[in-house]
A and B are shown apart, each in its own frame.
Chain A
Amino acid sequence: MLYEAEEVLGLIPQREPVVMVSRLIDASGNRCHTGLSVTADNYFIEDDGLMAETGLIEHIAQSASAFAGHRYRMQSLPAPIGYIGEVRKFHCYRRPAIGDELQTEIIFEAEAEGVTLMSATTSCNGEAVADTKMKIFVEPVR
């Protein structure tokens, strides 16, 4: 485990109640794994007790942000601010429920002029929950 609980907040700009990453499990090269414990007070839990699909997109985006923050930190640079530029081919196979432990693999596939193309796969106990491709624009650190 690389970062957990409060330590993750040093990698991403979000704060409660919209923090959607519980831990950065590992990171190597262009890929990482993150985790999210889905609790009853999660901002994206709806009346039926399941997470809104937008919560999954937010979790994936924050996972990428945490990964980028970790990579910058390894170079002794402050975590950058990232913006979602595009979400493509988003598939939600099932909405997460309270008590689920989500695990997400992020792969940074290519980068050009500050835009990073990434793919993400979210699962729960080996069952596919969602996948997507996303473009993140990272604001240069000044």
Chain B
Amino acid sequence: MTREEIVSKVNAVLAEEFEVEESVISPDADIRKTLELDSLRLVDLISAIQVAFGVKVTTEELHLLTKFSDLYDYIEKNL
């Protein structure tokens, strides 16, 4: 899977899961603010990534990912 394919799939999956426009998801955007993540929704992000890519992100690792570009990098590295 190329970087472009990962970015496209992440954006589509998260836009659907969190009911936001894909256009608001950009590499430099803040994940928590954009997706309005709270403690209840954090688990949705972990599950969405796991289902879409088979990549398990731990809570600790997720806290280190602040921008969407960090998330793309993480998935690319762990695919």
Chain B residues numbered 27-42 whose CB sits less than 8 Å from any CB in chain A: 39-40, 42
Interface residue count for A (Cβ, 8 Å)?
12
Summed over the interface, the residue pairs from A and B with CB atoms below 8 Å come to a total of 33
A110 in contact with B40 (CB, 8 Å): no
A61 CB to nearest B CB, Å: 16
Interface residue count for B (Cβ, 8 Å)?
11
Interface SS of chain B: helix, strand, loop or mixed? helix
A residues near B42, Cβ cutoff 8 Å: 112-113, 115
A109 in contact with B59 (CB, 8 Å): no
A residues near B51, Cβ cutoff 8 Å: 109
- Contact of B52 with A by CB under 8 A: no
B54 CB to nearest A CB, Å: 13
Scoring B residues 40 to 54 as 1 if CB is less than 8 Å from chain A, else 0, what string do you get?
101110110011000
